[in-house]
């Protein structure tokens, strides 16, 4: 058996988590095992191992309860089953704000709200069909309006379909899409493809509208489907043309593709969505004040809003409960970490990033004292590693603190750079980012669908990622050195903002 300075009895803890034994006997057992491991470490290695950079007792106090108490999952049930879908501006979104405030207070963590004006897009009636022709008796389409889509006329929109697989292909068609419904098809098959094809949903309808199209259908950005369409936001330019836009299930995209190979296809779409006036909402902020350098802030975050379908269990309920639990466990430590740990539950990540911008504006003067920031927003999968976005020497600084993450499967650095949509307004302030990378290989099976519900989250995976989040947060707040701030983003030089090479990049 390998000798580690910190031996986390993960298998034992996870057995306990499954509910076989009450929580009470767990603590002594866990302590005894890790104490034995710790005692054995120095003699067994022969050479005098340097003392760990961190306190093993603290690591046990954070990781043990995260694995055994099931608090994150219980909270996730409150948020998803209790409150449900919580699109920005909805009553449920506000209920989630109040729930988060109450929960932080119950945990003994100081919390408050900060105002955010959010867009208020509301889904209405929606349906679509492939119209009958000499080649088919017709088919219903499984679709969801994209967030931001205008409605069709009450009688619906009927037009011929034109298929494209890229914005370049759309541009090449020129005026040929005039009066047509543009169907954006693609080949997403794994989670890593999301970034590659997300532009078809985000910008495709606006580009099609400018070219004279009357509607847009986008193949769901998905890694699996049981004929479940995946929604998401689409953006139109202020003052630019807007056309009704919906996502369709991948099965229906395949059907359209097959039918288009044989000739013209006409579809009818009815969307009853509406855009109401901006609504008052809130970010929820909570804080555990640092003992030595309270002015230095380690920010951990997730987004409280979700789409209006499903209950946002993976996106982003999982991230919300991970960072809430990290704060609860850190607040319970006998001694606070050196720096302040601040939790931000952002509002409106999904269709506007208004919460992210409101935070960055309200705290602009403080951003130079944000020494690290993280957003958990890739679902509730098991932890795989730690990511960073910092200046030179970041990994060397953090590495001695990773050992407690080894037993969780997250003790190494990910090749991916840390980041998060809600952190993007902090890039120009050169805030270093960190993250706990989670297994998101199945995340896009349910992302933005009716199927993103609590049953899709594995309690043990969630507990492990929560434990890793709590430890990584503590490490950044406690380690003596500071991450070097990353280089500022490149300033676009000269009038052509984007070079043709970049615009057509993979």
Distance of CA 143 to the CA centre of its chain: 23
Q: Least distance from C-beta 469 to Zn ion, angstroms?
A: 15
**Contact stretch for Zn ion (CB under 5 A) within 196-204, 261-269, 309-317, 379-387:** 309-317
- 287 or 377: CB nearest Zn ion: 377
Distance of CA 280 to the CA centre of its chain: 23
**Contact stretch for Zn ion (CB under 5 A) within 91-99, 112-120, 131-139, 308-316:** 308-316
How far is 188 from 175, CA to CA, in rounded Å?
27
Show the tokens assigned to 172: 């090449």
The tally of CA atoms less than 13 A away on the side-chain side of residue 314 is 26
- 60 or 377: CB nearest Zn ion: 377
Pairing assessment for the beta strands 413-417 and 370-375 based on DSSP bridges: unpaired
Catalytic residue among 69, 126, 287, 349: 349
- 252 or 377: CB nearest Zn ion: 377
Pairing assessment for the beta strands 157-164 and 181-184 based on DSSP bridges: parallel
- 34 or 351: CB nearest Zn ion: 351
How far is 339 from 76, CA to CA, in rounded Å?
28
Q: Least distance from C-beta 233 to Zn ion, angstroms?
A: 11
**Contact stretch for Zn ion (CB under 5 A) within 156-164, 260-268, 307-315, 362-370:** 307-315
308 binds Zn ion (CB under 5 A): no
Number of residues that bind Zn ion (CB under 5 A): 3
Q: Is 349 a catalytic residue?
A: yes
H or E stretch at 58: helix 56-68
- 90 or 152: CB nearest Zn ion: 90
Give one word for 263, left, alpha or beta, with left for phi > 0 and alpha for psi -120 to 50.
left
- Interface mask toward Zn ion for 353-392; x: CB under 5 A: ------------------------x---------------
Q: Least distance from C-beta 319 to Zn ion, angstroms?
A: 7
- 151 or 319: CB nearest Zn ion: 319
Q: Least distance from C-beta 166 to Zn ion, angstroms?
A: 25
Q: Which residues contact 313 (CB under 8 A, 6 or more apart)?
A: 76, 80, 380, 452, 453, 454, 455, 456, 457
Burial (Cβ within 10 Å: 0-12, 13-18, ≥19) of residue 500: exposed
439 binds Zn ion (CB under 5 A): no
315 binds Zn ion (CB under 5 A): yes
Q: What is the 3 state secondary structure string of 377-390?
A: CCCCCCEEEEEEEC
Which residue among 252, 316, 325, 422 contacts Zn ion (CB under 5 A)? 316
How far is 112 from 118, CA to CA, in rounded Å?
18
- Interface mask toward Zn ion for 170-209; x: CB under 5 A: ----------------------------------------
Q: Which residues contact Zn ion (rule: CB under 5 A)?
A: 315-316, 377
**Which residues are catalytically annotated?**
349
């Amino acid at each position: 058996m390998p000798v580690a300075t910190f031996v986390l009895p993960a298998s034992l803890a996870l057995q306990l988590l499954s509910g076989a034994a009450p929580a009470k006997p767990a603590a002594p057992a866990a302590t005894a095992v890790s104490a034995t491991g710790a005692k054995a470490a120095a003699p067994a290695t022969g050479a005098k191992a340097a003392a760990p950079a961190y306190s093993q007792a603290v690591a046990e106090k954070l990781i043990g309860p995260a694995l055994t108490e099931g608090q994150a999952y219980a909270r996730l049930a409150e948020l998803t089953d209790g409150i449900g879908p919580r699109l920005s501006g909805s009553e449920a979104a506000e209920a989630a704000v109040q729930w988060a405030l109450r929960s932080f207070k119950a945990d003994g963590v100081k919390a408050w709200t900060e105002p955010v004006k959010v867009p208020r897009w509301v889904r209405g009636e929606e349906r679509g069909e492939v119209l009958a022709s000499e080649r088919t008796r017709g088919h219903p389409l499984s679709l969801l309006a994209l967030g931001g889509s205008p409605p069709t006329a009450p009688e619906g929109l009927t037009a011929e379909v034109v298929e494209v697989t890229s914005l370049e292909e759309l541009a090449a068609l020129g005026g040929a899409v005039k009066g047509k419904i543009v169907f954006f098809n693609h080949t997403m098959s794994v989670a890593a493809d999301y970034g590659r094809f997300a532009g078809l949903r985000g910008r495709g309808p606006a580009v099609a509208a400018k070219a004279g199209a009357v509607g847009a259908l986008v193949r769901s950005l998905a890694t699996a489907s049981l004929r479940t369409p995946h929604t998401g936001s689409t953006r139109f330019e202020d003052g630019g043309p807007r056309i009704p836009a919906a996502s369709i299930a991948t099965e229906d995209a395949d059907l359209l593709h097959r039918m288009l190979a044989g000739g013209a296809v006409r579809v009818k779409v009815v969307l009853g969505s509406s855009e109401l006036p901006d609504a008052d909402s809130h970010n929820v902020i909570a804080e555990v004040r640092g003992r030595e350098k309270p002015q230095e802030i380690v920010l951990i975050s997730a987004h409280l809003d979700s789409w209006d379908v499903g209950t946002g269990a993976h996106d982003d309920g999982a991230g919300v409960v991970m960072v809430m639990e990290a704060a609860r466990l850190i607040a319970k430590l006998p001694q606070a970490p050196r720096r302040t740990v601040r939790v931000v539950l952002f509002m409106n990540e999904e269709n506007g990033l208004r919460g992210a911008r409101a935070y960055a504006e309200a705290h602009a003067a403080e951003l130079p004292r944000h020494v690290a920031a993280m957003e958990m927003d890739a679902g509730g999968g098991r932890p795989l590693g730690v990511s960073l976005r910092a200046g030179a020497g970041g990994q060397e600084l953090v590495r001695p603190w990773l050992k407690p993450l080894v037993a969780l499967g997250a003790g190494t650095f990910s090749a991916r750079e840390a980041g998060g949509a809600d952190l993007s307004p902090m890039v120009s302030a050169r805030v270093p980012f960190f993250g706990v990378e989670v297994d998101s290989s199945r995340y896009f099976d349910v992302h933005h669908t009716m199927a993103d519900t609590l049953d899709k989250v594995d309690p043990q995976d969630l507990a492990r990622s929560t434990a890793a989040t709590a430890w990584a947060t503590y490490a950044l707040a406690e380690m003596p050195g500071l991450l070097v701030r990353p280089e500022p983003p490149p300033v676009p030089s000269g009038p052509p903002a984007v070079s043709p090479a970049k615009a057509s990049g993979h």
